[in-house]
Structure 1
Amino acid sequence: MMRNGIRRNGPEPKSSPERAAEGRDGGVQSVDRALSIIEVLAEDDEGYRLTDLAVRTGLSPSTVHRLLTTLEKRRFVQFDRTCSRWHIGAQSFAVGATFTRRRNFVAQAMPYLRKLRDQTRETANLAVVDDQSIIVLTRIESREIMRSLTKVGGRVAMVASGVGKAVLATYGDDDVNAIIRRQGMPRLTEKSIVRPSALFAELATVRRQGYAVDDEEARMGLRCVAAVVYNDCGEPLAAISVSGMTSRITDERLPTLGKTVAEVAAELTLALGGVMPGAKPA
């Protein structure tokens, strides 16, 4: 471009306001703020009022309203005028669904989740590791009374979940220690595992019995039994689990449930072209 009669090559230098809008990590502040609003809205199906969103995000009401207006135009959020609450919009679902479609094994896993639900009468879940956390891809709900621990799309720390411990049991000690250093070991309930030595002992048990148990470690009154689904290299691709109330998933049922979950996980592994640990690829 020309400036003062001199041709300059390359992009136009950013103005001071533009530079100020960029965080130290190079991220644009307004984008970061908009995404934080979407993340908060995704936490509660009941939606949020403007003032509540401002408190949750730490932003001023005027800033939140400005960003919400922009997001609403793009259908990432929607406003319910009957109760003056903001909710996640259809476009957020459309974009998020790409994550599931990219993992094309989800559709293939559905019959196995239904089988698991029908055999155990408990909610069957499919989850994967994403950024060292567990994210629930889909579930088949139990016909019994159920309080879901984590909704579809929700995240949970690996050390505090059955599916997380099932996957961690396939990792080496150095990798497990790295995750502990990054995530910590939060005490979510009185039964949470909060010492590395106890976690490593638990992982040894998981390896021996072939399934993992979340014994009220993330929420009191709820148990989860999980096993790993492997890819064609014998590495963890995902994990499946059954979850339910402790009144139904009793100590006496755990071995039977663990055997069932492990068997269905092995069946799904083979159906997806994966190989179980120790087996040779075809």
Structure 2
Amino acid sequence: MSTEEADILEEADHQEKDTTADRPAGLIGAVDNVLRLLRLFEDHEMIRVNQVSRDMGLSRSTVHRLLSTLSYHEFVEQDTHSRAYRPGPVLVDIGLSVVRNMDIRSLARGSLVQLRDETDETVHLATRRGTEVLYIDSVESEQTVRVSSRIGWCLPAHATAAGKVMLAALSDEQLTALYPSERLDAPTARAPATRTALRGHLHTVRERGYAVNHAESEDDVSAVGVAIRDQHGQTIAALVTTAPKSRGDEAWIAATARVTTRVAAELTSRTK
């Protein structure tokens, strides 16, 4: 830790001493503040300085310095449009290192193989981190022309089947907090370019029970995504079947949606 960072933490600790009477003896106040701040992401997609100051009873200057330190170490990152903060790549990677060893990835492996065998296409397991989708496992098709593994890839959630089926679980307020700007970056001409257009896509996802990607994230890929839920009914991941756009016509979408939905439902039942 640099001298400057130590000074920041020492100052934050000093400023908040009067509000920490209920802390156990030996607890380091500044570290406690940092950990309490990070836990706000359990309930909020993004956080703002004023909000943190109010919720935690800290001065705005203290919150700003804590967030600046966390941003420097990439535990948080600031949205350029809203100026709010979201989980940064280091924080996400720490979480994912735990997720990779948790039940969902090992539990889903057999389902991925089954889905690959039944569709003869490449299939993926994905999770959402803010406005992005991270692919944490994949089983490739054995066809000569196929979509390759996407393990480790991050793609815009609003332009993928995996992302849309997970975004569909959010309330309108949560979606607005996640996408504060009406304009969205569209990786291809087919992707929704506005928040309003995305809401239309998510309405369709809720009606169908699955999401479709028609060359929205990549020009030559079609996909069907279905949510995987935990014992509380919360969406925790997505099961996705992908194919080259040349095979991904409406008939393929309909047939693949049926199989992917069934396999995802079987996997969901094993998480309970």
**TM-score, normalized by the shorter chain, greater than 0.5:** yes
**Structure 1, gaps ≥5 residues long:** 1-12, 33-94, 274-282
1:185/1:121 Cα in 2 relative to 1: closer, same or farther (>3 Å)? same
Deviation for aligned residue 1:27: 5.0
1:173/1:143 Cα in 2 relative to 1: closer, same or farther (>3 Å)? same
1:164 corresponds in structure 2 to 163
2:247 corresponds in structure 1 to 248
Contact persistence 1:127–1:163 (CA under 8 A):
yes
Q: Root-mean-square deviation (CA), in Å?
A: 3.0
Q: Give the 3-state SS of the residue equivalent to 2:250 in structure 1.
A: coil
Q: Give the 3-state SS of the residue equivalent to 1:218 in structure 2.
A: coil
**Structure 2, gaps ≥5 residues long:** 9-64, 75-93
TM-score, normalised on structure 2? 0.64
Runs of 4+ deviating beyond 4 Å: none
1:139 corresponds in structure 2 to 138
What is the CA–CA distance in structure 2 between the aligned matches of 1:200 and 1:115, rounded to whole Å? Answer: 32
- Code of the aligned partner of 1:25: S
Contact persistence 1:157–1:183 (CA under 8 A):
no
1:184/1:138 Cα in 2 relative to 1: closer, same or farther (>3 Å)? farther
2:207 corresponds in structure 1 to 208
1:14 corresponds to which of 3, 26, 42:
3
What is the CA–CA distance in structure 2 between the aligned matches of 1:247 and 1:184, rounded to whole Å? Answer: 30
1:101 corresponds in structure 2 to 100
What is the CA–CA distance in structure 1 between the aligned matches of 2:266 and 2:109, rounded to whole Å? Answer: 12
Q: Point out the structure with max Rg over C-alpha.
A: 1
2:114 corresponds in structure 1 to 115
Contact persistence 2:183–2:195 (CA under 8 A):
no
**Percent identity at matched positions?**
24
1:24/1:227 Cα in 2 relative to 1: closer, same or farther (>3 Å)? closer
Deviation for aligned residue 1:221: 1.3
2:179 corresponds in structure 1 to 180
The Cα offsets for residues 207-226 of structure 1, whole Å up to 9 and x where unpaired, read as 11111001101111111100
What is the CA–CA distance in structure 1 between the aligned matches of 2:71 and 2:159, rounded to whole Å? Answer: 33
Q: Give the 3-state SS of the residue equivalent to 1:26 in structure 2.
A: helix
What is the CA–CA distance in structure 2 between the aligned matches of 1:260 and 1:168, rounded to whole Å? Answer: 21
1:183/1:189 Cα in 2 relative to 1: closer, same or farther (>3 Å)? same
Contact persistence 1:230–1:237 (CA under 8 A):
yes
Contact persistence 1:100–1:137 (CA under 8 A):
no
What is the CA–CA distance in structure 1 between the aligned matches of 2:209 and 2:98, rounded to whole Å? Answer: 28
Q: Give the 3-state SS of the residue equivalent to 2:175 in structure 1.
A: helix
How many residues align structurally? 196
1:270/1:183 Cα in 2 relative to 1: closer, same or farther (>3 Å)? farther
Deviation for aligned residue 1:97: 7.7
What is the CA–CA distance in structure 2 between the aligned matches of 1:247 and 1:235, rounded to whole Å? Answer: 34
Asked whether 1:263 is paired with 2:252, we answer no
The Cα offsets for residues 42-69 of structure 1, whole Å up to 9 and x where unpaired, read as xxxxxxxxxxxxxxxxxxxxxxxxxxxx
2:68 corresponds in structure 1 to 25
What is the CA–CA distance in structure 2 between the aligned matches of 1:250 and 1:141, rounded to whole Å? Answer: 20
Asked whether 1:126 is paired with 2:169, we answer no
Deviation for aligned residue 1:23: 10
What is the CA–CA distance in structure 2 between the aligned matches of 1:176 and 1:201, rounded to whole Å? Answer: 12
The Cα offsets for residues 207-260 of structure 1, whole Å up to 9 and x where unpaired, read as 111110011011111111000000011010111000110112212211111111
Deviation for aligned residue 1:126: 0.3
- Code of the aligned partner of 2:107: Q
